[in-house]
Structure 1
């Protein structure tokens, strides 16, 4: 196991700062996911950790040793890329054993460690197969075994499952988590998939425009996003522009009591934090669209002001398009200038204008 420290790391390409003054510590045996949209700098940051990109400024330490100027082959790190990058002229065993041969390990040691690595990734007995005889998921497991066999202190993974289908991604990420627990290895995993980060990580580091937006446990990131960007990026969120006046936040027909100074603000409500009740006549919001996911219904609503809301309910509630509903949030948060300024656990409800008319589908 190993501790990784990133201190004020930056990487500029001309006038563009792909990574801008990032500091991050990854503890022994911890799995940290770097999460963010395309162009946020997460892959560039990972490549600097592995020595494949040279920082413009800052330092990288592993177990207290400065490795900033050390080339990739001499760092105690392993790298798994999005492309499998397997050698097609070698069989699976040869691909996994290649790094050990370069290190001039004894033949019996190469045999033992390569077989152990293949068994760890669930490919025992596949050593004589060629890469083109394997599925995409199996090829990615070979790439993982090729890194693990070198016994790196830190394993770096750059969106390794991006090219795989959803079902296979879910299965492999569970296996990676199991391997990480068994091996006790420190991992940094780059992804743009929210579900992947929430399922895998001990902590998530969300990046935006080369900077770290928020770092924390998955449950904290989801339930207490510190910025409006994180609130909108993680999971589904209803983000509504509004204004605070005399202790009330008004946002597109919604009114809520808040203890904030007057001024512009953004109201944020998760779909699962909205409770729906059938409205009498045409009071409330109109149900525009309902999607049945089996475990729950996703209900899209519209108000007279054109506000669109998404709520999550149990299937048994039987919502259908054209019905009217009163909307009651169990929890909401408020952002001002992009930063969290209020978080409320319970509310008495949302005031919606009465006699909302039927709206035409979009």
Structure 2
């Protein structure tokens, strides 16, 4: 059992900049939790504090009930994989992986067996004699993951490990790392700014902003039921339409729907896949561009007040630039003053 407990952790750097602000988080045994947020949200600083590379200004970090808040990295049961591979270029792959075990004075036979086992685990069997500068970027990152796993950490920490790789390789590696994590059942904290990465890998996503947490939930809940406008706009694509509620009805020049909340200004949030286009040639919304993705079409529109929205359609063929249409949201959420007041039961 390997559990991570973060309680009231803050980090204030010299000069008064608050990077992490009173964050509490539990990561269960074998769970992969993704810290997701824009640059400057505090996600990497939080991860580095768990790994011991930064010291919290306040709060505690515990692993399996043991307080590790003040322990240096080498005394923590954690393994860290950085964005830069941080491999020793003057050593071959075997030496890079064996280094930590040698420091722990493990027998040579054990070191050899564990290096061979972890290389096979990451799909690099037979690569021990290669120099690290002879490897591709993806292979180097596999070695970096192997180096963290070979010490059998209780907690695996991943700090945007695929950010420097091209899209195709990034997608393949994240699937491989997720498979390894599930096979080993290792508790993992993963930092990324890529929403696709978070949605495809995580058991839970923690959306961070300005050093704090906006929402922590399963990926499907984060996508379908965002609790704040920031989460709604940061995860996936979201249309925001400003209007007013009058007598239980949301009113906008191009959109009208029943909305049982108090009268006043409000923001409607609608996913592109939940925004239908009807009545070609009858509405005021003007199609700006139509993109054919093969599996579906994406229609960009201008509303009469200048708002840009997107609609996902099964086939782009009936639509063309310059055409006018009416909008009909099938599912939506409504926000006022950063508070969610309403959400339709039909998922986005």
* TM-score computed with the length of structure 2 as normaliser: 0.96
Q: Matched residue of 2:261: which SS?
A: coil
CA distance in 1, matches of 2:99, 2:207: 35
CA distance in 2, matches of 1:42, 1:346: 32
Task: Give the match for residue 12 of structure 2.
Answer: 12
Task: Give the match for residue 91 of structure 2.
Answer: 90
Moved over 3 A (4+): 281-284
Residue 274 of structure 1 deviates from its aligned partner by 1.2
Cα shift readout 1:294-313 (whole Å, capped 9, x = no counterpart): 11111011233323220001
CA contact (8 A) 2:255 2:328 kept: no
Task: Give the match for residue 250 of structure 2.
Answer: 249
CA distance in 2, matches of 1:9, 1:175: 32
Say yes or no: does 1:44 pair with 2:78. Answer: no
**Matched pairs, number:** 346
CA distance in 2, matches of 1:316, 1:261: 38
Q: Structure 2 unaligned runs (5+)? A: none
Q: Matched residue of 1:315: which SS?
A: coil
Task: Give the match for residue 110 of structure 2.
Answer: 109
Cα shift readout 1:100-123 (whole Å, capped 9, x = no counterpart): 011110000000111111111100
Deviates more, 1:269-278 or 1:58-67: 269-278
Say yes or no: does 1:24 pair with 2:30. Answer: no
Say yes or no: does 1:138 pair with 2:158. Answer: no
Task: Give the match for residue 215 of structure 1.
Answer: 216
CA distance in 2, matches of 1:285, 1:316: 16
CA distance in 2, matches of 1:231, 1:165: 27
CA contact (8 A) 1:330 1:345 kept: no
Task: Give the match for residue 343 of structure 1.
Answer: 343
* TM-score computed with the length of structure 1 as normaliser: 0.93
Task: Give the match for residue 148 of structure 1.
Answer: 149
CA distance in 2, matches of 1:346, 1:29: 32
Residue 284 of structure 1 deviates from its aligned partner by 4.2
Q: Matched residue of 1:79: which SS?
A: strand
CA distance in 1, matches of 2:205, 2:79: 20
Residue 321 of structure 1 deviates from its aligned partner by 1.2
Residue 178 of structure 1 deviates from its aligned partner by 0.3
Cα shift readout 1:157-210 (whole Å, capped 9, x = no counterpart): 000000000100000000011000111100000000000000000000000000
CA distance in 2, matches of 1:104, 1:209: 43
Change (3 A) 1:96 1:261: same
CA contact (8 A) 1:251 1:267 kept: no
RMSD of aligned alpha carbons? 1.4
Residue 315 of structure 1 deviates from its aligned partner by 2.4
